[in-house]
Amino acid sequence: MPGLSHERLYPAPVAGVDEAGRGPLAGPVVAAAVILPPRGVPRGIDDSKKLSAAIRAQLCARLLDCAQVGIGIVEADEIDRLNIHWATMKAMTLAVDALVATHGTPPGHVLVDGNRLPRWDYPATALVGGDALSRSIAAASIVAKHTRDRIMIAHAEAHPQYNWHSNKGYGCRHHLAALRDHGPTSLHRRSFAPVAQAERALSPD
């Protein structure tokens, strides 16, 4: 389980930041920033990829109740304009900005999962594999993943042929087949090769 050793290296409060949704063909990229409380942190916080959807939902609800949380969302059309790297950096920036705006507490330091930092004024450290090392980053990964999954499940109601309630926009076999048969929606990332290829294949000559 990720601990708090990295958080203790920096001035409090320390925010953990992580994202969900870099790889899917459809939907937004979502980032979360989380400052854990000094007491009453929920047990079981871990890298979101290691947790079931039900456990993520429970932990997300508890984190929203006890922690300081900010969420940043960048939609598919902006991902296409910026590219996925810069869209992810923007989502992270929006998440920390939202945390500060909501709770009025600028972080003393920000721990970011990965090897790159957004272009911001916050003191920060990039931590490769941070969701397995830092409890704050792991908490952010849970909030980001659960938030994005809920968004894609809601979109699945309007676009059932793509099976987003199950694949969450990732390029699984069912999703790719639906892309070939029906073409992309406004929620698809047209800068991603499988989406662009499907669009070209269905376009009249």
Q: DSSP letters of 90-157?
A: HHHHHHHHHHHHHH----SEEEEESS---S-SS-EEEETTGGGTBHHHHHHHHHHHHHHHHHHHHHHH
Q: What is the C-alpha to C-alpha distance for residues 112 and 125, in angstroms, rounded to an integer?
A: 6
Q: Which domains does the chain have, with CATH numbers?
A: 7-157 (3.30.420.10)
pLDDT tens figures, 71-127: 999 999 999 999 999 999 999 999 999 999 999 989 999 999 999 999 999 999 999
Q: Which tokens hold the place of 41?
A: 């942190």
Query: Given this model, what pLDDT does residue 205 score?
Result: 58
pLDDT tens figures, 125-160: 999 999 999 999 999 999 999 999 999 999 999 999
The annotation places the binding site at 18-19, 113
The annotation places the binding site for a divalent metal cation at 18-19, 113
Q: What is the mean pLDDT of the chain?
A: 96
Q: How confident is the model at residue 202 (pLDDT cuts 50, 70, 90)?
A: confident
**Taking 90 as the threshold, does the pLDDT of residue 201 lie above it?**
no
- What residues have CB less than 8 Å from 43, skipping those under 6 apart? none
Name the residue with tokens 């980032």: 31
Q: How confident is the model at residue 52 (pLDDT cuts 50, 70, 90)?
A: very high
Query: Given this model, what pLDDT does residue 204 score?
Result: 65
Q: Which tokens hold the place of 158?
A: 């309007």
pTM reported for the whole predicted model: 0.97
Do 156 and 140 contact (CB within 8 A), yes or no?
no
